[in-house]
Amino acid sequence: MEELNMLTKEIESKRQEMLKLSMTFGFSSPQTIQCSQELDQLLNEYEKLKKTESTLQTGT
């Protein structure tokens, strides 16, 4: 559960970073796209971890 909380904070931080980059360089800039891809990776990791924890709790 602690890992999910830490990941949630990382996701929110990366989201804020992406918004700042998009305001500065535009939505299609390489910097914004790179940050968006990093955010996607964090979100995928979150979903995978959440599914794993859910499976462990239900025992299936």
pLDDT along the chain (60 residues), means of 10: 93 98 98 98 96 78
The torsion angle over the Cα atoms of residues 41, 54, 12 and 23, rounded to 10 degrees, is 50
- What DSSP string describes 3-50? HHHHHHHHHHHHHHHHHHHHHHH-TTSHHHHHHHHHHHHHHHHHHHHH
pLDDT value for 60? 57
Domains of the chain, earliest start first? 2-58 (4.10.280.10)
